[in-house]
Protein backbone atom coordinates (compact mmCIF):
# COMPACT_ATOMS: atom_id res chain seq x y z
CA UNK A 1 0.00 0.00 0.00
CA UNK A 2 1.37 3.38 -1.02
CA UNK A 3 1.95 6.27 1.38
CA UNK A 4 -0.97 8.16 -0.13
CA UNK A 5 -3.27 5.18 0.34
CA UNK A 6 -2.15 4.90 3.96
CA UNK A 7 -3.08 8.52 4.54
CA UNK A 8 -6.52 7.99 2.97
CA UNK A 9 -7.04 4.85 5.06
CA UNK A 10 -6.09 6.67 8.26
CA UNK A 11 -8.45 9.56 7.46
CA UNK A 12 -11.27 7.12 6.71
CA UNK A 13 -10.76 5.13 9.93
CA UNK A 14 -10.65 8.26 12.09
CA UNK A 15 -13.75 9.68 10.35
CA UNK A 16 -15.55 6.36 10.69
CA UNK A 17 -14.83 6.17 14.43
CA UNK A 18 -15.98 9.76 14.94
CA UNK A 19 -19.20 9.08 13.02
CA UNK A 20 -19.90 5.89 14.95
CA UNK A 21 -19.08 7.56 18.29
CA UNK A 22 -21.40 10.50 17.57
CA UNK A 23 -24.37 8.20 16.95
CA UNK A 24 -23.61 6.12 20.04
CA UNK A 25 -22.64 8.77 22.58
CA UNK A 26 -25.33 11.31 21.74
CA UNK A 27 -28.33 10.93 24.05
CA UNK A 28 -26.58 8.11 25.87
CA UNK A 29 -28.47 8.57 29.14
CA UNK A 30 -31.75 9.94 27.79
CA UNK A 31 -33.35 6.56 28.37
CA UNK A 32 -33.53 5.23 31.91
CA UNK A 33 -31.78 1.99 32.72
CA UNK A 34 -34.37 -0.80 32.57
CA UNK A 35 -34.62 -4.21 34.22
CA UNK A 36 -31.89 -6.07 32.31
CA UNK A 37 -29.49 -3.13 32.55
CA UNK A 38 -30.16 -2.77 36.26
CA UNK A 39 -29.28 -6.45 36.64
CA UNK A 40 -25.90 -5.79 35.03
CA UNK A 41 -25.34 -2.73 37.21
CA UNK A 42 -26.31 -4.45 40.46
CA UNK A 43 -23.98 -7.37 39.76
CA UNK A 44 -20.92 -5.33 38.81
CA UNK A 45 -20.61 -3.10 41.87
CA UNK A 46 -16.91 -2.21 42.34
CA UNK A 47 -17.10 -2.23 46.15
CA UNK A 48 -18.37 -5.82 46.18
CA UNK A 49 -15.35 -7.23 44.38
CA UNK A 50 -15.00 -9.23 41.18
CA UNK A 51 -16.85 -12.16 42.72
CA UNK A 52 -20.10 -10.21 42.13
CA UNK A 53 -20.24 -10.70 38.34
CA UNK A 54 -18.87 -14.23 38.65
CA UNK A 55 -21.56 -15.16 41.16
CA UNK A 56 -24.26 -13.68 38.93
CA UNK A 57 -23.02 -15.73 35.97
CA UNK A 58 -23.68 -18.88 38.01
CA UNK A 59 -27.27 -17.99 38.92
CA UNK A 60 -30.33 -19.24 37.09
CA UNK A 61 -30.82 -15.98 35.19
CA UNK A 62 -27.16 -15.17 34.69
CA UNK A 63 -25.35 -14.96 31.38
CA UNK A 64 -21.66 -15.83 30.85
CA UNK A 65 -19.36 -13.53 32.84
CA UNK A 66 -17.09 -11.68 30.37
CA UNK A 67 -19.24 -8.57 29.90
CA UNK A 68 -20.08 -8.12 33.58
CA UNK A 69 -16.46 -8.64 34.59
CA UNK A 70 -15.37 -5.98 32.08
CA UNK A 71 -18.18 -3.72 33.33
CA UNK A 72 -16.97 -4.21 36.90
CA UNK A 73 -13.42 -3.23 35.88
CA UNK A 74 -14.69 -0.27 33.83
CA UNK A 75 -16.79 1.08 36.71
CA UNK A 76 -13.87 0.61 39.07
CA UNK A 77 -11.88 3.06 36.92
CA UNK A 78 -14.54 5.40 35.47
CA UNK A 79 -17.18 5.46 38.19
CA UNK A 80 -20.59 3.91 38.80
CA UNK A 81 -22.75 6.43 36.91
CA UNK A 82 -25.20 5.67 34.10
CA UNK A 83 -23.12 7.48 31.49
CA UNK A 84 -19.99 5.63 32.49
CA UNK A 85 -21.67 2.21 32.26
CA UNK A 86 -23.30 2.88 28.92
CA UNK A 87 -20.10 4.40 27.56
CA UNK A 88 -18.53 0.94 27.80
CA UNK A 89 -21.18 -0.49 25.47
CA UNK A 90 -20.78 2.52 23.16
CA UNK A 91 -17.02 1.92 23.10
CA UNK A 92 -17.57 -1.69 22.06
CA UNK A 93 -20.06 -0.44 19.49
CA UNK A 94 -17.50 1.87 17.88
CA UNK A 95 -14.95 -0.94 17.79
CA UNK A 96 -17.58 -3.17 16.21
CA UNK A 97 -18.12 -0.64 13.42
CA UNK A 98 -14.38 -0.42 12.80
CA UNK A 99 -13.94 -4.20 12.85
CA UNK A 100 -16.56 -4.55 10.10
CA UNK A 101 -14.25 -2.62 7.77
CA UNK A 102 -11.40 -5.04 8.34
CA UNK A 103 -13.59 -8.13 8.05
CA UNK A 104 -15.21 -6.88 4.83
CA UNK A 105 -11.79 -6.05 3.40
CA UNK A 106 -10.41 -9.46 4.32
CA UNK A 107 -13.40 -11.42 2.99
CA UNK A 108 -13.92 -9.42 -0.21
CA UNK A 109 -12.24 -6.07 -0.85
CA UNK A 110 -11.49 -2.69 0.78
CA UNK A 111 -14.58 -1.18 -0.87
CA UNK A 112 -16.87 -3.83 0.63
CA UNK A 113 -15.22 -3.16 3.99
CA UNK A 114 -15.99 0.56 3.64
CA UNK A 115 -19.61 -0.13 2.73
CA UNK A 116 -20.07 -2.61 5.59
CA UNK A 117 -18.58 -0.31 8.22
CA UNK A 118 -20.62 2.70 7.09
CA UNK A 119 -23.83 0.66 7.16
CA UNK A 120 -23.03 -0.57 10.65
CA UNK A 121 -22.22 2.98 11.81
CA UNK A 122 -25.80 4.17 11.19
CA UNK A 123 -27.67 0.89 11.67
CA UNK A 124 -30.49 1.61 14.19
CA UNK A 125 -30.34 -1.91 15.65
CA UNK A 126 -26.62 -1.66 16.36
CA UNK A 127 -26.90 1.87 17.75
CA UNK A 128 -29.66 0.79 20.13
CA UNK A 129 -27.62 -2.02 21.64
CA UNK A 130 -24.51 0.14 21.75
CA UNK A 131 -26.43 2.34 24.20
CA UNK A 132 -27.48 -0.42 26.57
CA UNK A 133 -25.62 -1.82 29.57
CA UNK A 134 -25.86 -5.35 28.22
CA UNK A 135 -23.40 -7.63 26.39
CA UNK A 136 -24.81 -7.25 22.87
CA UNK A 137 -22.41 -4.66 21.42
CA UNK A 138 -19.50 -6.65 22.87
CA UNK A 139 -20.97 -9.85 21.44
CA UNK A 140 -21.20 -8.22 17.99
CA UNK A 141 -17.57 -7.07 18.23
CA UNK A 142 -16.26 -10.46 19.33
CA UNK A 143 -18.28 -12.22 16.65
CA UNK A 144 -16.73 -10.01 13.96
CA UNK A 145 -13.23 -10.41 15.39
CA UNK A 146 -13.65 -14.18 15.63
CA UNK A 147 -14.53 -14.27 11.93
CA UNK A 148 -11.76 -11.86 11.03
CA UNK A 149 -9.05 -13.97 12.68
CA UNK A 150 -10.70 -17.14 11.36
CA UNK A 151 -10.37 -15.80 7.81
CA UNK A 152 -6.84 -14.52 8.47
CA UNK A 153 -5.75 -17.93 9.72
CA UNK A 154 -7.45 -19.73 6.82
CA UNK A 155 -5.57 -17.56 4.33
CA UNK A 156 -2.15 -17.68 5.97
CA UNK A 157 -2.13 -20.64 8.43
CA UNK A 158 -0.05 -18.46 10.74
CA UNK A 159 -0.41 -19.47 14.38
CA UNK A 160 -0.33 -15.84 15.47
CA UNK A 161 -3.71 -15.49 13.76
CA UNK A 162 -4.72 -18.87 15.16
CA UNK A 163 -3.98 -17.71 18.70
CA UNK A 164 -5.99 -14.52 18.20
CA UNK A 165 -8.84 -16.56 16.74
CA UNK A 166 -8.89 -18.81 19.79
CA UNK A 167 -8.80 -15.86 22.22
CA UNK A 168 -11.61 -13.91 20.56
CA UNK A 169 -13.76 -17.00 20.08
CA UNK A 170 -13.40 -18.09 23.70
CA UNK A 171 -14.27 -14.55 24.85
CA UNK A 172 -17.30 -14.65 22.55
CA UNK A 173 -18.45 -17.96 24.03
CA UNK A 174 -18.07 -16.57 27.55
CA UNK A 175 -20.00 -13.42 26.64
CA UNK A 176 -23.29 -14.87 25.40
CA UNK A 177 -24.66 -18.34 24.71
CA UNK A 178 -25.59 -17.41 21.13
CA UNK A 179 -21.86 -17.16 20.51
CA UNK A 180 -21.87 -20.97 20.44
CA UNK A 181 -24.00 -20.82 17.29
CA UNK A 182 -21.30 -18.80 15.53
CA UNK A 183 -18.68 -21.31 16.60
CA UNK A 184 -20.95 -24.08 15.26
CA UNK A 185 -21.25 -22.19 11.98
CA UNK A 186 -17.47 -22.02 11.69
CA UNK A 187 -17.17 -25.73 12.40
CA UNK A 188 -19.86 -26.46 9.80
CA UNK A 189 -17.89 -24.43 7.26
CA UNK A 190 -14.69 -26.37 8.04
CA UNK A 191 -16.54 -29.68 7.72
CA UNK A 192 -17.93 -28.60 4.35
CA UNK A 193 -14.49 -27.62 3.06
CA UNK A 194 -12.99 -30.88 4.33
CA UNK A 195 -15.64 -33.02 2.63
CA UNK A 196 -16.24 -30.97 -0.52
CA UNK A 197 -12.89 -29.74 -1.82
CA UNK A 198 -11.14 -32.43 -3.81
CA UNK A 199 -7.84 -30.55 -4.10
CA UNK A 200 -7.54 -30.17 -0.31
CA UNK A 201 -4.56 -31.57 1.55
CA UNK A 202 -6.71 -33.11 4.25
CA UNK A 203 -3.90 -34.12 6.59
CA UNK A 204 -2.44 -30.60 6.73
CA UNK A 205 -5.94 -29.21 7.03
CA UNK A 206 -6.59 -31.33 10.11
CA UNK A 207 -3.18 -30.51 11.58
CA UNK A 208 -3.94 -26.80 11.19
CA UNK A 209 -7.46 -26.67 12.59
CA UNK A 210 -7.80 -29.51 15.09
CA UNK A 211 -5.45 -27.87 17.67
CA UNK A 212 -7.51 -24.66 17.53
CA UNK A 213 -10.80 -26.50 17.94
CA UNK A 214 -9.31 -28.63 20.72
CA UNK A 215 -8.08 -25.61 22.70
CA UNK A 216 -11.42 -23.79 22.33
CA UNK A 217 -13.29 -26.91 23.44
CA UNK A 218 -10.94 -27.35 26.37
CA UNK A 219 -11.47 -23.79 27.60
CA UNK A 220 -15.26 -24.12 27.64
CA UNK A 221 -15.31 -27.45 29.50
CA UNK A 222 -15.60 -25.71 32.93
CA UNK A 223 -18.82 -24.12 31.70
CA UNK A 224 -20.40 -27.24 30.24
CA UNK A 225 -22.18 -28.12 33.48
CA UNK A 226 -23.74 -24.69 33.58
CA UNK A 227 -24.84 -25.00 29.95
CA UNK A 228 -26.41 -28.41 30.62
CA UNK A 229 -28.40 -27.02 33.55
CA UNK A 230 -29.68 -24.14 31.43
CA UNK A 231 -30.61 -26.50 28.61
CA UNK A 232 -33.11 -28.17 30.94
CA UNK A 233 -35.04 -24.94 31.54
CA UNK A 234 -38.55 -25.42 30.16
CA UNK A 235 -40.02 -21.96 30.75
CA UNK A 236 -38.86 -18.53 29.65
CA UNK A 237 -40.53 -15.15 29.18
CA UNK A 238 -40.32 -15.23 25.36
CA UNK A 239 -42.69 -17.20 23.13
CA UNK A 240 -42.13 -19.33 20.03
CA UNK A 241 -41.92 -16.82 17.18
CA UNK A 242 -44.18 -17.20 14.12
CA UNK A 243 -42.79 -19.04 11.11
CA UNK A 244 -42.15 -15.76 9.27
CA UNK A 245 -40.16 -14.30 12.19
CA UNK A 246 -37.08 -13.76 10.02
CA UNK A 247 -38.89 -11.08 8.02
CA UNK A 248 -39.82 -9.06 11.10
CA UNK A 249 -36.31 -9.51 12.53
CA UNK A 250 -34.78 -8.39 9.24
CA UNK A 251 -36.96 -5.29 9.27
CA UNK A 252 -36.00 -4.49 12.86
CA UNK A 253 -32.29 -4.46 12.00
CA UNK A 254 -32.91 -1.54 9.64
CA UNK A 255 -35.34 0.32 11.88
CA UNK A 256 -38.32 -0.85 9.81
CA UNK A 257 -37.35 1.50 6.96
CA UNK A 258 -39.21 -0.11 4.02
CA UNK A 259 -36.98 1.22 1.23
CA UNK A 260 -33.82 0.04 2.98
CA UNK A 261 -35.34 -3.37 3.73
CA UNK A 262 -36.38 -3.86 0.09
CA UNK A 263 -33.03 -2.70 -1.31
CA UNK A 264 -31.21 -4.93 1.16
CA UNK A 265 -33.34 -7.91 0.14
CA UNK A 266 -32.54 -7.16 -3.52
CA UNK A 267 -28.82 -6.96 -2.78
CA UNK A 268 -29.03 -10.23 -0.87
CA UNK A 269 -30.52 -11.88 -3.96
CA UNK A 270 -27.84 -10.32 -6.14
CA UNK A 271 -25.18 -11.77 -3.86
CA UNK A 272 -26.70 -15.23 -4.25
CA UNK A 273 -26.26 -15.02 -8.02
CA UNK A 274 -22.67 -13.79 -7.73
CA UNK A 275 -19.79 -16.02 -8.81
CA UNK A 276 -16.78 -15.71 -6.54
CA UNK A 277 -13.42 -14.44 -7.75
CA UNK A 278 -9.95 -15.61 -6.77
CA UNK A 279 -9.35 -12.56 -4.56
CA UNK A 280 -12.34 -13.35 -2.37
CA UNK A 281 -12.35 -15.75 0.55
CA UNK A 282 -13.08 -19.30 -0.69
CA UNK A 283 -16.68 -20.47 -0.20
CA UNK A 284 -17.63 -17.23 1.55
CA UNK A 285 -21.29 -17.87 0.78
CA UNK A 286 -21.21 -21.04 2.86
CA UNK A 287 -19.51 -19.24 5.74
CA UNK A 288 -21.98 -16.34 5.78
CA UNK A 289 -25.12 -18.40 5.28
CA UNK A 290 -24.05 -20.94 7.89
CA UNK A 291 -23.73 -17.97 10.26
CA UNK A 292 -27.27 -16.83 9.53
CA UNK A 293 -28.79 -20.31 9.39
CA UNK A 294 -27.33 -21.51 12.69
CA UNK A 295 -28.48 -18.39 14.53
CA UNK A 296 -32.07 -18.59 13.29
CA UNK A 297 -32.82 -22.25 12.59
CA UNK A 298 -31.24 -23.99 15.60
CA UNK A 299 -32.95 -21.84 18.32
CA UNK A 300 -36.23 -21.88 16.39
CA UNK A 301 -36.35 -25.68 16.20
CA UNK A 302 -35.21 -25.96 19.80
CA UNK A 303 -38.10 -23.69 20.87
CA UNK A 304 -40.56 -26.52 20.28
CA UNK A 305 -38.93 -28.79 22.86
CA UNK A 306 -37.30 -26.33 25.28
CA UNK A 307 -37.71 -22.76 26.50
CA UNK A 308 -37.88 -20.36 23.53
CA UNK A 309 -34.77 -18.16 23.44
CA UNK A 310 -35.12 -16.63 19.99
CA UNK A 311 -35.43 -12.85 20.38
CA UNK A 312 -34.17 -10.11 18.01
CA UNK A 313 -31.42 -8.93 20.34
CA UNK A 314 -29.95 -12.43 20.68
CA UNK A 315 -29.66 -12.65 16.89
CA UNK A 316 -27.26 -9.70 16.77
CA UNK A 317 -24.57 -12.31 15.98
CA UNK A 318 -26.21 -12.84 12.57
CA UNK A 319 -26.18 -9.12 11.72
CA UNK A 320 -22.49 -8.96 10.62
CA UNK A 321 -23.13 -11.64 7.97
CA UNK A 322 -26.25 -9.84 6.71
CA UNK A 323 -24.42 -6.51 6.47
CA UNK A 324 -21.53 -8.14 4.59
CA UNK A 325 -23.95 -9.76 2.15
CA UNK A 326 -25.71 -6.44 1.52
CA UNK A 327 -22.36 -4.65 1.13
CA UNK A 328 -21.06 -7.24 -1.30
CA UNK A 329 -24.30 -7.12 -3.25
CA UNK A 330 -23.92 -3.36 -3.50
CA UNK A 331 -20.39 -3.77 -4.80
CA UNK A 332 -21.58 -6.06 -7.61
CA UNK A 333 -23.00 -3.17 -9.61
CA UNK A 334 -20.53 -2.28 -12.35
CA UNK A 335 -21.01 1.46 -11.95
CA UNK A 336 -19.20 2.84 -8.88
CA UNK A 337 -21.38 5.95 -9.09
CA UNK A 338 -24.48 3.79 -8.84
CA UNK A 339 -22.98 1.97 -5.85
CA UNK A 340 -22.28 5.27 -4.10
CA UNK A 341 -25.76 6.61 -4.89
CA UNK A 342 -27.45 3.49 -3.51
CA UNK A 343 -25.26 3.48 -0.42
CA UNK A 344 -25.84 7.19 0.10
CA UNK A 345 -29.62 6.75 -0.15
CA UNK A 346 -29.53 3.90 2.37
CA UNK A 347 -27.40 5.86 4.83
CA UNK A 348 -29.56 8.95 4.42
CA UNK A 349 -32.79 7.06 5.02
CA UNK A 350 -31.36 5.30 8.04
CA UNK A 351 -30.32 8.67 9.47
CA UNK A 352 -33.78 10.09 8.71
CA UNK A 353 -35.31 7.04 10.39
CA UNK A 354 -33.25 7.69 13.51
CA UNK A 355 -34.07 11.40 13.75
CA UNK A 356 -37.52 11.78 12.17
CA UNK A 357 -39.46 8.79 10.80
CA UNK A 358 -40.46 7.08 14.06
CA UNK A 359 -39.99 10.15 16.16
CA UNK A 360 -36.54 11.25 17.23
CA UNK A 361 -34.85 8.07 18.47
CA UNK A 362 -32.84 10.14 20.94
CA UNK A 363 -35.96 11.82 22.36
CA UNK A 364 -38.52 9.01 22.25
CA UNK A 365 -38.94 6.92 25.38
CA UNK A 366 -38.71 3.21 24.57
CA UNK A 367 -37.39 1.74 27.83
CA UNK A 368 -38.95 1.28 31.25
CA UNK A 369 -38.69 4.47 33.27
CA UNK A 370 -37.05 3.25 36.45
CA UNK A 371 -35.08 6.48 36.94
CA UNK A 372 -38.15 8.68 36.46
CA UNK A 373 -40.15 6.56 38.91
CA UNK A 374 -37.56 6.91 41.65
CA UNK A 375 -37.17 10.62 40.99
CA UNK A 376 -40.94 11.21 41.08
CA UNK A 377 -41.28 9.59 44.50
CA UNK A 378 -38.32 11.54 45.90
CA UNK A 379 -39.70 14.84 44.59
CA UNK A 380 -43.11 14.15 46.15
CA UNK A 381 -41.59 12.79 49.37
CA UNK A 382 -38.28 14.68 49.77
CA UNK A 383 -37.91 13.77 53.45
CA UNK A 384 -38.42 10.04 52.74
CA UNK A 385 -41.18 9.77 55.34
CA UNK A 386 -42.91 6.79 53.79
CA UNK A 387 -41.63 3.35 52.79
CA UNK A 388 -41.58 2.32 49.16
CA UNK A 389 -42.74 -1.14 48.13
CA UNK A 390 -40.85 -1.87 44.96
CA UNK A 391 -38.54 -4.28 43.19
CA UNK A 392 -35.33 -3.86 45.19
CA UNK A 393 -33.25 -3.91 42.04
CA UNK A 394 -34.13 -0.20 41.75
CA UNK A 395 -31.88 0.51 44.73
CA UNK A 396 -29.25 1.76 42.26
CA UNK A 397 -31.36 4.83 41.54
CA UNK A 398 -32.51 5.47 45.09
CA UNK A 399 -29.17 4.97 46.80
CA UNK A 400 -26.39 5.44 44.23
CA UNK A 401 -27.85 8.09 41.92
CA UNK A 402 -30.16 10.15 44.13
CA UNK A 403 -28.41 9.37 47.47
CA UNK A 404 -31.74 8.80 49.19
CA UNK A 405 -32.38 7.22 52.59
CA UNK A 406 -35.80 5.97 51.58
CA UNK A 407 -36.73 2.59 53.06
CA UNK A 408 -37.31 0.07 50.29
CA UNK A 409 -39.65 -2.82 51.02
CA UNK A 410 -40.30 -5.99 48.93
CA UNK A 411 -42.46 -5.51 45.84
CA UNK A 412 -46.16 -6.45 45.74
CA UNK A 413 -47.25 -8.99 43.13
CA UNK A 414 -49.99 -11.16 44.61
CA UNK A 415 -52.79 -10.98 47.16
CA UNK A 416 -50.54 -12.67 49.73
CA UNK A 417 -47.99 -9.87 49.31
CA UNK A 418 -50.73 -7.24 49.65
CA UNK A 419 -51.94 -8.77 52.93
CA UNK A 420 -48.40 -8.77 54.29
CA UNK A 421 -48.17 -5.09 53.41
CA UNK A 422 -51.38 -4.43 55.34
CA UNK A 423 -49.96 -6.19 58.39
CA UNK A 424 -46.73 -4.20 58.08
CA UNK A 425 -48.57 -0.87 57.80
CA UNK A 426 -50.75 -1.69 60.83
CA UNK A 427 -47.85 -2.92 62.95
CA UNK A 428 -45.81 0.23 62.29
CA UNK A 429 -48.83 2.59 62.43
CA UNK A 430 -47.88 4.24 59.14
CA UNK A 431 -50.08 6.93 57.62
CA UNK A 432 -49.02 6.25 54.05
CA UNK A 433 -46.80 4.26 51.73
CA UNK A 434 -45.64 4.17 48.12
CA UNK A 435 -46.05 1.30 45.68
CA UNK A 436 -43.93 1.31 42.53
CA UNK A 437 -44.76 -1.40 40.02
CA UNK A 438 -41.91 -1.94 37.58
CA UNK A 439 -41.75 -4.29 34.61
CA UNK A 440 -44.65 -6.29 36.02
CA UNK A 441 -47.79 -4.99 37.73
CA UNK A 442 -49.39 -6.60 40.76
CA UNK A 443 -52.28 -8.91 39.95
CA UNK A 444 -55.87 -7.67 39.99
CA UNK A 445 -56.75 -9.25 43.37
CA UNK A 446 -53.83 -7.52 45.10
CA UNK A 447 -54.69 -4.16 43.55
CA UNK A 448 -58.38 -4.42 44.48
CA UNK A 449 -57.45 -5.39 48.04
CA UNK A 450 -55.19 -2.35 48.53
CA UNK A 451 -57.55 0.03 46.71
CA UNK A 452 -60.41 -1.02 48.97
CA UNK A 453 -58.39 -0.86 52.19
CA UNK A 454 -56.57 2.45 51.63
CA UNK A 455 -57.19 5.80 49.97
CA UNK A 456 -55.38 6.48 46.71
CA UNK A 457 -53.75 9.89 47.04
CA UNK A 458 -51.59 9.62 43.88
CA UNK A 459 -51.60 7.25 40.95
CA UNK A 460 -49.20 8.04 38.13
CA UNK A 461 -48.12 5.94 35.15
CA UNK A 462 -44.76 5.97 33.40
CA UNK A 463 -43.56 3.72 30.62
CA UNK A 464 -43.31 0.24 32.11
CA UNK A 465 -44.08 1.60 35.58
CA UNK A 466 -46.96 2.69 37.79
CA UNK A 467 -46.70 4.67 41.02
CA UNK A 468 -49.38 4.72 43.71
CA UNK A 469 -49.34 6.57 47.02
CA UNK A 470 -51.79 5.13 49.55
CA UNK A 471 -52.84 6.89 52.73
CA UNK A 472 -54.39 5.20 55.75
CA UNK A 473 -56.06 8.18 57.39
CA UNK A 474 -56.48 11.78 56.35
CA UNK A 475 -53.98 12.98 53.76
CA UNK A 476 -50.59 13.64 55.34
CA UNK A 477 -49.12 17.10 54.96
Closest to 185 in 3D by CA, of 301, 296, 92:
296
Provide DSSP, 171-212. Answer: HHHTT-TTHHHHHHHHHHHHHHHHHH-TT--HHHHHHHHHHH
CA dist., res. 103 & res. 81, Å (int):
34
Mean pLDDT of 124-147: 97
Mean pLDDT of 253-279: 90
pLDDT above 70 covers what percent of the chain?
96
CA dist., res. 437 & res. 434, Å (int):
10
Q: Pick the more confident residue, 143 or 230.
A: 143
Contact 274, 328 (CB under 8 A): yes
> DSSP label at 100?
H
pLDDT of residue 258: 87
pLDDT of residue 455: 95
* pLDDT-derived band at 52, boundaries 50, 70, 90: confident
Q: Pick the more confident residue, 12 or 57.
A: 12
Burial of 309 (0-12, 13-18, 19+ CB in 10 A): middle
What angle is formed at CA 359 by the lines to CA 356 and CA 363, rounded to 5 degrees?
110
CA dist., res. 138 & res. 196, Å (int):
34
pLDDT of residue 176: 94
pLDDT of residue 74: 97
In the predicted model, is pLDDT for residue 234 greater than 70? Answer: no
Backbone angles phi, psi at 254, to 5 degrees: -105, 20
Please write the tens of the pLDDT for every residue from 396-405: 999 999 999 9
Which of 1-15, 308-322, 367-381 is the least confident region?
1-15
Burial 339-365 (b: 16+ CB within 10 A, else e): beebbeebbebbeebbeebeeebeeee
Please write the tens of the pLDDT for every residue from 53-67: 988 888 766 689 999
Please write the tens of the pLDDT for every residue from 137-176: 999 999 999 999 999 999 988 989 999 999 999 999 999 9
Predicted model pTM: 0.95
What's the Cα-to-Cα distance from 381 to each of 147, 461, 464, 467, 470, rounded to whole Å?
54, 17, 21, 13, 13
Rounded to the nearest integer, the mean pLDDT of the chain is 92
pLDDT of residue 274: 87
Closest to 43 in 3D by CA, of 68, 70, 66, 77:
68
pLDDT of residue 475: 47
What's the Cα-to-Cα distance from 100 to each of 61, 258, 264, 327, 471, rounded to whole Å?
31, 24, 17, 11, 57
Which of 74-88, 240-254, 338-352 is the least confident region?
240-254
In the predicted model, is pLDDT for residue 134 greater than 90? Answer: yes
Beta bridge partners of 1: none
Collect all residues with Cβ–Cβ distance below 8 Å to 166 and sequence separation of at least 6. 212, 215, 216, 219
464 φ/ψ sector (left φ>0, alpha ψ -120 to 50, else beta)? left
pLDDT of residue 477: 45
Closest to 41 in 3D by CA, of 2, 75, 7:
75
CA dist., res. 357 & res. 314, Å (int):
25
What angle is formed at CA 107 by the lines to CA 97 and CA 176, rounded to 5 degrees?
50
pLDDT of residue 385: 94
Mean pLDDT of 426-453: 95
CA dist., res. 285 & res. 464, Å (int):
42
Please write the tens of the pLDDT for every residue from 271-288: 999 888 888 998 999 999
Mean pLDDT of 47-52: 89
pLDDT of residue 397: 96
pLDDT of residue 359: 66
Closest to 101 in 3D by CA, of 17, 7, 18:
17
pLDDT of residue 476: 46
Q: What SS3 class is residue 434?
A: strand
pLDDT of residue 199: 87
Number of neighbours of residue 101 by Cβ within 10 angstroms: 24
Closest to 28 in 3D by CA, of 16, 39, 37:
37
pLDDT of residue 243: 86
CA dist., res. 135 & res. 173, Å (int):
12
In the predicted model, is pLDDT for residue 1 greater than 70? Answer: no
In the predicted model, is pLDDT for residue 474 greater than 60? Answer: no
Report the greatest alpha carbon distance in the chain. 88
Number of neighbours of residue 203 by Cβ within 10 angstroms: 8
Give the neighbor-by-neighbor strand order of the sheet with 432-438: 408-409, 388-389, 432-438, 465-471, 455-462
Amino acid sequence: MSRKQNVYLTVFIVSLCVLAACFRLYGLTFQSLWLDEILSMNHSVPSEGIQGPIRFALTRDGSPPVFNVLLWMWRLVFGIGEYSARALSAFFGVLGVLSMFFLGRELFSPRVGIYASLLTAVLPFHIYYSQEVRPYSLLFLLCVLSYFFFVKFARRRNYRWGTLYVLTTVCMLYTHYFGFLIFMAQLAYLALIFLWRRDLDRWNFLKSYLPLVFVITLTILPWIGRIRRLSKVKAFWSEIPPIDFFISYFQSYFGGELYVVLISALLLGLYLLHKSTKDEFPSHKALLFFSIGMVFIVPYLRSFTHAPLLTPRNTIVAVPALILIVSKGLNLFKSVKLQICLLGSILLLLAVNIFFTNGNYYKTTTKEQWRESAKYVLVKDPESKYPVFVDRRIRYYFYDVFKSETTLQPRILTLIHAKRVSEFISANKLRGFWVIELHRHMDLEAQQYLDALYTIKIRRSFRGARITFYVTEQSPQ
